[in-house]
Amino acid sequence: MSARRTFLQQAAAGFGWLALSALAADAASKRPHFAMKAKRAVFLFMEGGPSQFDTFDWKPELARAGGRFLAPAFPFKQRGQSGLWISDAFPQLAQHADELCLLNGMTTNNAGHQQAVLAMHTGSENLVRPSLGAWVVYGLGSMADDLPGFVTVNPISHLGGAQNYGSAFLPATFQGTRLGTGQRGVPHIANRNLSDEDQRRQLDFVQKLNRRALAQDPNQPELEGLIQSYELAYQMQTSVPETLDLSREPARIRELYGLDDSATQNFGSQCLMARRLMEKGVRFIQLTSTGWDHHNNIRESLGARAASVDRPIAGLLADLKQKGMLDETLVIWGGEFGRQPREDNPGGRGHANRGYTMWLAGGGVKRGFRYGATDELGEQAVEGRLGTHDLHATLLHLLGLDHERLTFRHAGRDFRMTDVAGKVAKEIIA
């Protein structure tokens, strides 16, 4: 470590802008545009487009409509002090209703999975653009020195795949690092042949060779980045397994997240990993639950998916709260779009992009609050409409970033996450 510092000081004169910005991001947080409400974010992505009608958008008219309309598959109840309507699909989460800020007026441009997933993550349906996490880490830097600033756990490999956590034209250091559940998490994280001492000797030898190469091409930011990447990689060998080793958690915490039940173990592990990553200073974390594309039999299919995430998410909220971390953590829940009020295949619903629901909790959002609404039968958002760019503008705002000032110059023009649109939903800010 000290050798690295000394080297960095010695080499400082030769640093290119890329390495400088990467360093700034790695070593020290950058300054937000204004006081941040949340200093980190966790996005619980429900891939496939969960139905709002059976979860968080109570439509009494829909229950009565009959005909081609499909009534909600689960009973709704008012919950907590706030009286937010939440269905029985999420009994545990419903107990935290007073922490939630429901966004019932979400819209997105396209009802195709791939387009909508990319739009949700990058703001663009078809162009290659940096992802939300990359923009956030570009804007705020990382708070972790032995872990990447943007981590995505078990991401999907289709529907745009790596683009959804890519950095596109932003420097590579801001791209999301994939982690898998399980102790190893990152491919090739452990060395099975060398003792730690021998590996350090080997690495010192490599770094000496690398510094020699850098001396020959002194203005090579990539070589500087490569030298740093070896030190980060070396530390990750320890930090990643340590952070991901959920067995270090007490039994009651593991139970809180549902690690004791095969139905909730997968997403519970992701949620608990997320909390441990947050404690280590990771700025933006995405978790993914797949399989929310319920064209058939919502009662069973959505019921099972909801049951697999309900206790884990409730556990995460409770745990963050008891650790005093919820106020500074922005929790984002939702899919790429929602569902139709009409029946598709028996008992199921087709895609809907003109009105659906997401929710936020924690850092800086109004608690026990409902914003936006769809019309009587839930066919489209009619008030408090939030399009993709509005959502991104609002999320960036909560993290202390002005979406109009968070720009990056590329191919002769200044790009921003929200293109030339996006309006912050001030109404939801506490």
Task: Give the integer Cα–Cα distance in Å for 137 and 127.
Answer: 21
Strands 40-46 and 284-289: parallel
- Which residues have a Cβ under 8 Å from the Cβ of 36 and sit 6 or more positions away? 140, 363, 364, 398, 399, 400, 401
Strands 381-383 and 373-374: antiparallel
Asked whether 87 and 56 are in contact (CB, 8 A), the reply is yes
Region from 77-85, 116-124, 188-196, 395-403 binding other proteins, contact rule CB under 8 A: 188-196
Q: Considering only residues 232, 263, 307, 377, which one is a binding residue for other proteins as defined by CB under 8 A?
A: 232
Region from 52-60, 79-87, 116-124, 171-179 binding other proteins, contact rule CB under 8 A: 171-179
Q: Hey, what are 131's tokens? A: 């992802």
Nearer to other proteins by Cβ, of 99 and 224: the residue is 224
Q: Considering only residues 41, 84, 119, 227, which one is a binding residue for other proteins as defined by CB under 8 A?
A: 227
Nearer to other proteins by Cβ, of 68 and 208: the residue is 208
Q: Considering only residues 20, 27, 28, 172, which one is a binding residue for other proteins as defined by CB under 8 A?
A: 172
Q: Please report whether residue 190 would count as binding other proteins according to CB under 8 A.
A: yes
Q: Considering only residues 220, 288, 297, 380, which one is a binding residue for other proteins as defined by CB under 8 A?
A: 220
H/E stretch holding 242 reads: helix 221-244
Sign of the C-alpha dihedral computed for residues 251, 154, 103 and 327 taken in this order: positive
Asked whether 126 and 345 are in contact (CB, 8 A), the reply is no
Q: Considering only residues 12, 27, 28, 213, which one is a binding residue for other proteins as defined by CB under 8 A?
A: 213
Shortest approach of other proteins to residue 201 CB, angstroms? 6
Letters for 255-294 (x = contact with other proteins by CB under 8 A, - = none) are: ----------------------------------------
Q: What DSSP letter does each residue of 162-221 carry, written as one string?
A: GGGG--TTS-GGGSPEEE-SSSS-STT-S-SSS-HHHHHHHHHHHHHHHHHHHHHSTT-H
Letters for 84-123 (x = contact with other proteins by CB under 8 A, - = none) are: -----------------------------xx---------
Task: Give the integer Cα–Cα distance in Å for 179 and 159.
Answer: 18
Read off the DSSP letter of residue 422. Answer: -
Q: Please report whether residue 411 would count as binding other proteins according to CB under 8 A.
A: yes
Q: Note the residues at the interface with other proteins (CB under 8 A).
A: 113-114, 128, 148, 157-159, 161-163, 167, 172-173, 175, 177, 186-195, 197-199, 201-203, 205-206, 208-210, 213-214, 216-217, 219-220, 222-223, 225-227, 229-230, 232-234, 236-237, 411-413, 420
